[in-house]
Amino acid sequence: MYTLLSGFYRYLVQKDEYFIVILGLDNAGKTTYLEAAKTKFTKNYKGMNPSKITTTVGLNIGRIDTGGVRLNFWDLGGQEELQSLWDKYYAESHAVIYIVDSSDRDRIPVSKETFDKVISSEHLQGVPLLVLANKQDIPDCMGVRDVKPIFNQNAHLIGRRDCMVMPVSALTGEGVNEGINWLVDCIKRNNDIRPPRNQDNNGLS
């Protein structure tokens, strides 16, 4: 009887789990964004001081519960020599957050080229894309009106999947909620293509 009740309880409280990769060039603000998301959506979580956040070499992992689901984030290092490791996570991912440093105009073409490589992967077909124009707190940064046309140029690579370009400041947290909420709606809608994982099997295969 205990086993039956225990199983039923787990069934009631178990959340659908989704895995999201956070990609972008080094210094785009990926880890700062992840910390902002954890701070916004996790009660009593005190995020890392942004000045203490260093360049990611490898992987940062984060988790939040929202909208009745659990989101697991893989924040991957953006240096060119680490980008070859990204595709090992694609097949397990339910969505991509691609972060653009909208204050670094010189590297926008490189970021766009990297983005196109990401969305060309067959392992990400149909997976929702959230492109975040980060560092909107910096004066004279590029706004969404500037960033969106650049990253939408290769619409054939994006295809029919959900794709949104949104402004965000990972430093102040502005725009973080809106992006996460949009993403939750998309991955729920996309269940037939990428069903959620259960909590008994939440690692990389």
**Is 24 marked within a binding site?**
yes
Do the domain assignments include residue 40? yes
pLDDT number for residue 203: 45
pLDDT number for residue 15: 85
Beta bridge partners of 100: 133
C-alpha–C-alpha distance, residues 182 and 177, integer Å? 9
Q: What's the structural domain count of the chain?
A: 1
Do the domain assignments include residue 195? no
CATH number at residue 63: 3.40.50.300
Residue located via tokens 């924040």: 75
> For residue 35, what are the CA distances in angstroms to 13, 49, 176, 192?
25, 9, 10, 30
**Is 43 marked within a binding site?**
no
Residue 79 catalytic? yes
Beta bridge partners of 73: 20, 62
> For residue 80, what are the CA distances in angstroms to 25, 58, 111?
8, 12, 11
C-alpha–C-alpha distance, residues 52 and 43, integer Å? 22
Do the domain assignments include residue 113? yes
pLDDT number for residue 129: 97
**Is 28 marked within a binding site?**
yes
Which burial class, exposed, middle or buried, applies to 134 when counting CB atoms under 10 A from its CB (0-12, 13-18, 19+)?
buried
Do the domain assignments include residue 9? no
C-alpha–C-alpha distance, residues 97 and 179, integer Å? 9
pLDDT number for residue 78: 87
**Is 26 marked within a binding site?**
yes
End-to-end Cα distance, the chain: 33
> Considering 79, 83, 125, 199, which one is annotated as catalytic?
79
C-alpha–C-alpha distance, residues 93 and 119, integer Å? 12
Q: Which residues of the chain fall below pLDDT 50? A: 200-205
Do the domain assignments include residue 3? no
**Is 59 marked within a binding site?**
no
Q: Which domain holds residue 63?
A: 14-190
C-alpha–C-alpha distance, residues 67 and 104, integer Å? 34
**Is 42 marked within a binding site?**
no
pLDDT in tens, 82-128: 888 999 999 999 999 999 999 999 999 999 999 999 999 999 999 99
> Sign of the C-alpha dihedral, residues 5, 71, 170, 175?
negative
pLDDT number for residue 84: 87
Do the domain assignments include residue 8? no
Do the domain assignments include residue 200? no
Which burial class, exposed, middle or buried, applies to 78 when counting CB atoms under 10 A from its CB (0-12, 13-18, 19+)?
buried
pLDDT number for residue 9: 56
Do the domain assignments include residue 70? yes
